[in-house]
Amino acid sequence: MKAEQYKLRLRILSGVVILLLSVLLIRLAVLQLFYNDLYQTQAKENSIRLVSVKAPRGEIYTRDGETLASNKLVYTLNLSSLESNQDEEVIERLVQLLNKHYPEITVESINEKIELQKFRLYEPVTIIRDIPWELVVHIEENRSIYQGVMITVEPLRSYPQGELAGHLLGYIHSINPQELSAESGKEYTLNSLIGKSGIEKSYERYLRGKDGARRIEVDARNVPIPVQEQITLEPEPGYNLYLSIDMKLQKVLDQSMSQVLTTLQGSYPKAKVGSAVVMNVKTGEILAMTSMPPINPDDWKGNLASSKVDYYYPQGK
């Protein structure tokens, strides 16, 4: 009697197992036959991310066509997502390499940038722009020990006249979190450069252009997969800007103001600050404008070099 009950229970249990397996197999077959394309498409879309391609800023000219601000293509060093057990080691190695050229780059400064961008892990973090060719070669030749380090080419602001009309032009610099929040919806990222003062700031909306985009594929951890990238949206350059400034007059005004201050310092050593404007009184056009001490907008495009800190932020002088 007990043996028969045991066999009956075994048959019932086997039947239940077979029924469950049949349901699972039927469900799997339905998914494979009818939903395969749908889920493949969704999986592909989930793994594709758009990363910005920098647009060149509009150029700035004097009334007579002399270039005050242009762009040049430079090598930019970026850091993509790293394995947790590798990131500190790679960052420390990178800082040692960069220290000869950029002593202001530290492990702390890099980690701060990574932390600010933690919600966009697939977007590479820009560490420094306009690195010399020798660093590019070293990194590419030692790719195995610089995993996650990317070298890209992008347009960067250039000021061919140096300090001439520096205050008037202003400068660009990395956007900060507060500015990014205020400019939400305008397609800025934490890697963006933005006008901070002068013409660069006042005409930011016209000069900045519109960044493009490229498609990258990422894995489940948002780490980019090394496949061929595709440009899906070409960047649009910013608008060029022509000022009423006369180049020859601007040079004369800068030189004259410098000479006047030098003369005054003979009797008044602290006479280091001055400004002047030349205006067409009939039209209101500004023909020349200067302020002393001068600034070189090129100094502010990236991390302010240690050698420039004392000049722009004098202590007790």
Residues 105 and 220 in one domain: yes
Last residue of a domain, one of 242, 266, 290: 242
The residues, ordered by sequence, that sit 6+ positions from 264 with a Cβ below 8 Å of its Cβ are 271
Tens digits of residue pLDDT in 196-227: 999 999 999 999 999 888 777 765 555 556 55
Q: Based on the fold, state whether residues 175 and 278 are members of the same structural domain.
A: no
Q: Distance (Å, rounded) from C-alpha 63 to C-alpha 47?
A: 50
Whether residue 234 is found in the same domain as residue 260: no
Mean of the per-residue pLDDT values of the chain: 82
10 within some domain: no
pLDDT over threshold 90, residue 157:
yes
The answer as to whether 257 is a domain residue is yes
* Residue with the larger pLDDT of the pair 160 and 48: 160
Residue 13, in any domain of the structure: no
DSSP assignment letter at 278: E
Q: Are residues 197 and 171 in contact, defined by beta-carbon separation less than 8 angstroms? A: yes
Mode of pairing for the β-strands spanning 241-242 and 60-61: parallel
How many structural domains are present in the chain?
2
Provide DSSP, 168-223: HH--EEEPPHHHHHHTTTS---TT-EEE-SHHHHHTHHHHS-B-EEEEEEB-TTSP
* Cβ–Cβ under 8 Å, residues 211 and 188: no
What token pair was written down for 268? 């008044």
Does residue 6 fall inside a structural domain? no
Query: Sorting pLDDT into bands at 50, 70 and 90, what band is 313?
Result: low
My answer on whether 112 and 205 are in the same domain is: yes
d(CA 46, CA 57): 32
224 with 264, same domain: the answer is no
pLDDT digits (tens, 9 = 90+) for 232-242: 788 999 999 99
Task: Please indicate, yes or no, whether residues 153 and 256 belong to a single structural domain of this protein.
Answer: no
Domain containing 97 — which CATH number? Answer: 3.90.1310.10
Q: Is the pLDDT of residue 45 over 70?
A: no
**Does residue 256 share a domain with residue 111?**
no
| pLDDT higher than threshold 80 for residue 67 | yes
Residues 92 and 105 in one domain: yes
Share of the chain above pLDDT 70, in %: 75
| Residue 40 belongs to a domain | no
Asked if residue 195 and residue 65 are part of one domain, the reply reads yes
Q: 12 in a domain, yes or no? A: no
What is the pLDDT averaged over residues 4-8? Answer: 66
The percent of residues in the chain predicted with pLDDT above 90, rounded, is: 37
pLDDT band at residue 254, thresholds of 50, 70 and 90? very high
pLDDT attached to residue 43: 53
Return the bridge partners of 213, or none.
52, 233
In a domain, 34, yes or no: no
For residue 251, give its domain range. Answer: 247-312
161 with 255, same domain? no
Q: Which of 195, 225, 242 is the last residue of a domain?
A: 242
**290 within domain boundaries:** yes
Give the pLDDT of residue 148.
Answer: 80
Buried b (16+ CB within 10 A) or exposed e, 53-92: bbbbbbbbbbeeebebbbbeebbbbbbbbbeeeebeebbe
Distance (Å, whole) CA 183 – CA 193? 12
- How confident is the model over 267-285, as pLDDT tens digits? 888 888 999 999 999 999 9
- 69 with 212, same domain: the answer is yes
